[in-house]
Each structure stands twice: as structure tokens, then as C-alpha cells.
Amino acid sequence: MYIFLITYYLAILTFYLGVLIYSLPIPLSNLKRWAPRLIADAFYIMALLFSISSIARFSEAIQSLLGGSWEFFLSYMKASIFFRTQLLVFLGTINGIITQFKFLLGLTRLISMIIRVISASLYAFTIMYAIATFVRYSFWSLIALGLALMAIPFRIARNAGAFLIAFALVFNTALPLYIQFTKTLILSEDKEFDTPIIFGNIINMANKPLYTGYIGLEYPGGYIGPIPVYSSTYIVPAVKYLQENLTVYYDVCGHIFYTNITSVSVMNLCKGVALCKVNMMVYGLVEYREGIALHAKPFPKLVNVTIFTSNYIEIYTESDIEYELYVSIVDSYKIKSFRVDSEDIGDVNNFYKYRWYWYNLNGKTYATPVPPGKHRIEIELTKDSNSLVEPDESYIYEAQIKLVSQANAPGLFDEVTRIMYIDIIGATFYVSLLLSISFALARLLGGATRLRVTL
């Protein structure tokens, strides 16, 4: 970097200024005393300049020995911020539902309190993540700028430069150790959480995100659904039956699509941690939107839905074998045309498969064979704007209330509150501690002010 070259020349300039002042035939003690300081500063900056790479590698070795990893730390922070954001959305939705039932107002106040705590925790984590990304990607820039400021003759910006170097070294070394720091505050290694929370991304078998739809939870003795999904993520809070085998379905258009969470204990999935990420893969479903579900069997090698509106759908697929493409629609829709590679397949009624019932909605499913190879599929539809295309909100409210009523609410809220408070206090305390260490190291780096050179 050019800044390191500038530092090198500034150190040489400082050295020659010291020699020049030594050789001045003017007996001014106030000026003469700068000569040994400038020469010492030049040697000190030069030594620091050529050893800073070794110092940085040594700090990274210490970080590795203590179990720190920038990649894992940044992933952990992003997942934590994501989880808190989604949890706020989830609790806000639950709170809005519960406010309609006067006999649950006490629970509403409790949820509101926890929302405030989670919001504060989210702010603390966001600030720490911003600091982390700044330090991670500006480390050498901070080091170079700090050395350049320290190299300015007559120590004009020595303290500022020393602090920049100390700040970069301390935060680059210690920030990834925050996870180990919080573990000592949260729980001992042999303690397990009674109320885990699972969250993750929702994808189809082509690893494409599913942004809308409904989740159904099947457990021994019952079924809860439809629980709406508002993005390509989901959250399932701890409930009483999570210690038993649980199956998560994708519940759209009269079809129950299996996922990779089938007949498993979430307690085993989470392995004793409070928050665990489990991505949900929905088998067979290509995409769902507003009462229209596209699914395939067997699933093609590649599938990409480029346009998906209530009137027109465009899909590009590739498969080595023949498969059937299913189109399930509620009765508000009618298919006008179905084209494969711009060729109309004819009367769509010839491809009618069966009818289904989905909560308060009726619908039908069509299926057409798609030969091997690459194909462009187009579907044109008409829609009755006065008819419903999603389940009635009463079913959603009932599912949400059932989910909350079966939740181990006091235990869940206690654990979430405890974790969030630890996050708030822990993040603030840890950053303050690192700043204190940075100030101390800055004084040490700038301590060459006391060096004396006898010539």
C-alpha cells in the first residue's frame, strides 16, 4: 500500500530532521532536545513498520489458539440478527392476534415486554456486527493510517496513530472470541435448554427459496395449521410436544408436501441449544403464490420460474428423464392455455387429474408430461377478482392461538428474556472492555515518548 511507503519516507524525514537539529550551530535547548527524540522516533517507527506483519500474525495465532474464527463469528452474528428480526415479526403477529381476545391481555403485556428486550438486543448485535465488519475489512487500512500518523515528525498525531493501531489489533484479535465469552455467561456445558427455538430458510429441491405459503405441524395427537410464511424463512417456537416426534409440512392448495423435518425430535435437532438453524427443504413443490401451486414428480434437474403472476407463468426446466408438471389452482382461477416450447398442448381439461378441498377453498389439479431436455413452459390463466385465493383468516387465527396455547410460554419467555438481556449487557460490556484494552495498548505503543538517546 502507498500509505506504508509514505510512512517509510516520513520516518526517514524524521531521522534527517533530528540530525539537522543536532547539527544546528544555535544553542537553543528547547529546540535541541527534539533532536534525540526525532532520531529515536524514526528508528521506532521503522522497527514498527517492518514488524507489524509479524505482530498481526502473532495476534491471529493467539486468536486461533483461543478458538476464535472470523468466518464463524460473522456467520453467527448474521444468523443472530436474522433470528431476532424474524422473532420480532413473529411475536408482533402473535401479539396482534392475541389483542383480539380480552382474556389474554396479560399475555399481551408479557409479549410486548419481551419485544422491547429483543429490540434492544437486536440494536446491540447490529452495532457489534457493524464494528466487526469495519474492523475485518479495514484492518490493514487502519494499521497503515495509524503508522503514517505516528510517523509525522514532532509527534503531532502520535497518540491518534497509536490508538488506530491498537484498536485494529485488539478488535481484530478479540472480537471473534465474543462467542466464547458469552458461553461463560449463558450456561454451563452440561446444561440444556428446555425450550429450544428452531429457525431457518425454506427452499425447494432446486435450492430456490420459497417466499410464500403455509406450514403445518403434525405431532402425536394433533395437527396445527395453516401457519403463514411471510418470507423465505420460518420460526417454530418451543411447544410442549417438541420433545416428541414432529413433522413439518408445507400446506398449500390442498396438498401436504413433506419436508426434511419428518418424524424427528426437535430436541435432538437442537442438541440442547436455545436457538438452532435447520433449513427446511420442501419436497416436490416448485413454487406457490396466491392460490397457485406448481409441483413436479419426479423433480427435474433444473427448474427456474422467471414470471409468476395471477395471469401468466413462465418456467424454464431441464431434466434427463420425463416428469409430470402439476398445476394446482383454487377455483378462482381457470387455465386459458398451456404451452411447452411455444406449442399449445390443447384442451387443458384433457389433463385434469382430481379435485381437492383446502380449508374453506375448493380447487383442482392438472398435470402434463414433460419430455426429457430443456423446455420453456408457459401457462395463461384468468382470475375471478371477487373470489378468495387464500384460506380464511379465521383458520390462521385458530392455528396461531393453538400454537401459543400449547407453547410452554413462561419457560420460553424466561429463556428468551434471559438470553436477550445477556446479549445486551454482554455485547456492551465486551466492546467497552476491548476499548479499554485498546486505550492501554495505545499508551504502550505511544510510550516511546519517554525514550532517551544519548549521543
Mean pLDDT of 286-303: 93
Top mean pLDDT of 60-69, 125-134, 228-237, 440-449 is at 125-134
CA distance 254 to 270: 31
pLDDT of amino acid 455: 40
CA distance 450 to 455: 16
pLDDT of amino acid 243: 53
The answer to whether the beta carbons of residues 149 and 160 sit under 8 Å apart is: yes
- Residue-wise pLDDT for 11-59, tens only, equals 899 888 888 888 887 776 677 788 888 998 899 999 999 999 999 989 8
Angle at the Cα of 453 from the Cα atoms of 451 and 455, rounded to 5 degrees = 170
Question: What average pLDDT does the structure give for the chain?
Answer: 82
Q: Residue 154: pLDDT above 60? A: yes
Q: Of the given ranges (208-212, 231-235, 250-254, 328-332), which has the lowest mean pLDDT?
A: 231-235
pLDDT of amino acid 147: 93
Q: Residue 410: pLDDT above 50? A: no
* Nearest to 118, CA basis, from 139, 99, 92: 92
pLDDT of amino acid 238: 53
Q: For residue 144, give the C-alpha cell.
A: 497503515
Q: Residue 249: pLDDT above 70? A: yes
Q: Which strand (E) or helix (H) includes residue 108?
A: helix 105-151
pLDDT of amino acid 274: 57
Q: Residue 145: pLDDT above 90? A: yes
Q: Residue 314: pLDDT above 60? A: yes
CA distance 326 to 405: 37
Q: Residue 304: pLDDT above 70? A: yes
What amino acid occupies position 382? Answer: T
* Nearest to 75, CA basis, from 139, 130, 129, 138: 129
Mean pLDDT of 394-416: 62
What amino acid occupies position 447? Answer: G
Q: What is the pTM of this model?
A: 0.55
Higher pLDDT among residues 213 and 191, named by residue: 213
At 404, the pLDDT band (50, 70, 90 cuts) reads: low
At 372, the pLDDT band (50, 70, 90 cuts) reads: very high
Strand partners, 236: 198
pLDDT of amino acid 450: 46
Three-class DSSP labels, 10-52: HHHHHHHHHHHHHHCCCCCHHHHCHHHHHHHHHHHHHHHHHHH
pLDDT of amino acid 185: 61
What the chain holds in terms of domains, given with CATH numbers, is 2-188+416-450 (no CATH), 197-284+392-407 (2.60.40), 286-383 (no CATH)
- Residue-wise pLDDT for 221-243, tens only, equals 778 888 888 777 776 655 555 55
Higher pLDDT among residues 99 and 286, named by residue: 286
Q: How does strand 280-282 pair with strand 197-204? A: parallel
Q: Which strand (E) or helix (H) includes residue 121?
A: helix 105-151
What amino acid occupies position 394? Answer: S
pLDDT of amino acid 101: 60
Q: Taking the CA atoms of the chain, what radius of gyration do you get in angstroms?
A: 32
Strand partners, 229: 213
Higher pLDDT among residues 121 and 356, named by residue: 356
Mean pLDDT of 289-299: 93
User: Which backbone phi and psi does 243 adopt, to 5 degrees?
Assistant: -75, -15
The answer to whether the beta carbons of residues 247 and 217 sit under 8 Å apart is: yes
> Looking at the chain, how many residues does it have?
455
CA distance 72 to 175: 11
